[in-house]
Chain A
Amino acid sequence: MDGAVAHWQMITRDPEALARFYEAAFGWSFSADNGLGYRTAATGGLDGGVWPAPPGAPEMVQLFIEVADIDAALVRIEALGGKLLMPRQVLPDGDVMALAQDPLGRPFGLMTPAAKD
């Protein structure tokens, strides 16, 4: 659904420790069995993932918002005072994503899931 929060992502300097923590605390299940070695988290509710932080970056959670047209969303975001952080990418599984920032400086993701047959 356009505009729905469809995924979340924790950015952390220690992805393995973070995944172990949430696995032990809440029974979330993590898998990195994909081309990127991306740790996906199945929570029983909204699923997410864990991505490594570059040196010096803060620990944070990013929301990923589903849109049908990422390029059009980026135009709206920039018109509203946000900015593009990472241009549109087609992930190995076919999902499309980009990273942007809201006018207060908070990074978030945009995603268009791959078409399912």
Chain B
Amino acid sequence: MGFAAFLNHTFEQRRMRNRRYSLRAFARNLGVDHASLSQWMRGTRPLSDEAIDRLADALCLSAVQRAHSREFDPLDVALVEAAATDAPPTTPELARRLGATADHVNVCLARLLRLGLLTMNGAAWITRTEG
């Protein structure tokens, strides 16, 4: 969870677009050395606020993305994707589908609502509020 998970997610996204994208290329793009990046991503070296700010700058994150990256949970991505559908599933349904607990889904949901990335909209349940 947190910024290390966000780095892993961002790297995976880039690898999905280009299977040859390497950790070394990611480090080069972020302007950091490969060894440090690897340790941050594996969680074996703590990320200082200064390092997070530098990496967030290199990733050109918006203010909302920056706040989200510090609390990032991979389940957030599934929730935002679910919200993009016409009839988002309920929390218990999502939990079953994702192999998570309803409590875990709800912790993520509350985070995304607080950050303004999702909005609860009654019958439509959740809708995406930022692209």
Please give the residue numbers on chain A whose beta carbons come within 8 Å of chain B beta carbons, in ascending order: 15-16, 32, 35-38, 51-55, 85-87, 89-92, 94, 99
Contacts and interface: CB of A to CB of B under 8 A. Distances in A.
A92 B125 contact: yes
A92 B122 contact: yes
A68 B31 CA distance: 52
Q: At the interface, is chain B mostly helix, strand, loop or mixed?
A: helix
A54 B107 CA distance: 6
Given A54-B111, A86-B113, A92-B90, A37 B106 contact: yes
Contacts of A90: 120-122
A89 B1 contact: no
Nearest to A16: B103
**For the complex of A and B, 7 pairs with smallest distance between CB atoms:** A37-B102, A89-B120, A52-B103, A90-B122, A35-B90, A37-B91, A86-B114
A92 B120 contact: yes
Contact of A54 (B105, B110, B123): B110
A37 B122 CA distance: 15
